Amino acid sequence: MMLEEKTSFFVGLLTGTLAFFSYRLYKIRCRNTWRALARNKNSYTRVLFFPDKVIACKAFYVNDYGCTTFECHFSHNEEETSLGKLFTLLGSVRRSIYVCVYTLTCNDLVDILIRLNQMAAEVKVITDSEFENINNSLIWKLRSCGIQVRTDSLPYFMHHKFAIIDEKIILTGSFNWTIKAVTGNQEDIFITNKPHVVQQYIKEFKELWHYFDPKLSHSQTMSGRYVQHSIKKDKTLFQPKKKLISEPVIF
């Protein structure tokens, strides 16, 4: 190899290496704010609002080596999108994530749960049975990847929208895990690590997880959870869900 060729080879190699590590540093710095929040032991609250004006790049926030797309059109700026912050928070899971949401149709968020499950985090999902069999439901995808999913199978909606990270952080609000919630609807996610709040959500999740155990009958599990039958007959207060909807509404 001629001297000039050798020089240009090493210059190229050096430039590529510098570009790679600069990108890694940039990526770490960009994700640092909310990743640090997930590790913060001091009490805090945050709020995320949707929809985002631009779409966050999932690869940038989730993949180990970030986004490799040349001239990516999605956002790499965490301050620009609530979804980017949510990706970062979900990416901070170390031991467990419990998700209790009415409906899941957002592939990006479901893929993160699958990835966490593959990384040996404990992933549990509770959702509403109404959406179990609709076309764009992703419950089948979670189950096929070995994630435990339980559905309510009750005449009422399982209408919660919360998640618990490592039994330390709560994400709750109007936000269903759907594409429309990210890109269209006005939604919010309230985030806190306040222990007395977190403990109440853990208790609720564990109770529902037990109630919706498919091995148990409702008569075994539901006593005390709902109003008595005589009060239930007041249809102005208690509307059965499944008879009123001719076809599923996608949120």
Q: Which residues bind Zn ion (CB under 5 A)?
A: 57, 60, 67, 72, 74
Catalytic site residue from 111, 141, 166, 241: 166
CB of 75 to Zn ion, least distance (A): 8
* CA distances in angstroms from 183 to 46, 51, 88, 101, 220, listed in the order given: 20, 5, 18, 18, 41
Instruction: Report the residue number, 30 or 171, with the smaller CB distance to Zn ion.
Output: 30
Catalytic site residue from 6, 159, 206, 218: 159
Sheet with 122-127: list strands edge to edge. 45-50, 187-192, 169-173, 161-165, 96-101, 122-127, 148-151
CB of 90 to Zn ion, least distance (A): 17
160 Cβ contact partners less than 8 Å away, ≥ 6 residues apart: 100, 101, 102, 126, 172, 204, 208
CB of 68 to Zn ion, least distance (A): 8
CB of 22 to Zn ion, least distance (A): 16
Does residue 213 have an active-site annotation? no
* Bond prior to 214 in cis (omega within 30° of 0): no
Characterize the bridge pairing of strands 169-173 and 187-192: antiparallel
Instruction: Report the residue number, 71 or 247, with the smaller CB distance to Zn ion.
Output: 71
Instruction: Report the residue number, 60 or 177, with the smaller CB distance to Zn ion.
Output: 60
Does residue 166 have an active-site annotation? yes
Does residue 161 have an active-site annotation? yes
Instruction: Report the residue number, 57 or 142, with the smaller CB distance to Zn ion.
Output: 57
The CA distance from 13 to 168, in Å, is 44
Q: What are phi and psi of 28, to 5 degrees?
A: -65, -45
Catalytic site residue from 27, 85, 160, 161: 161
Q: In this structure, is the dihedral angle defined by the CA atoms of residues 127, 130, 136 and 139, taken in order, positive or negative?
A: positive
Instruction: Report the residue number, 8 or 69, with the smaller CB distance to Zn ion.
Output: 69
CB of 57 to Zn ion, least distance (A): 3
> Would you name the residues annotated as active-site residues?
159, 161, 166
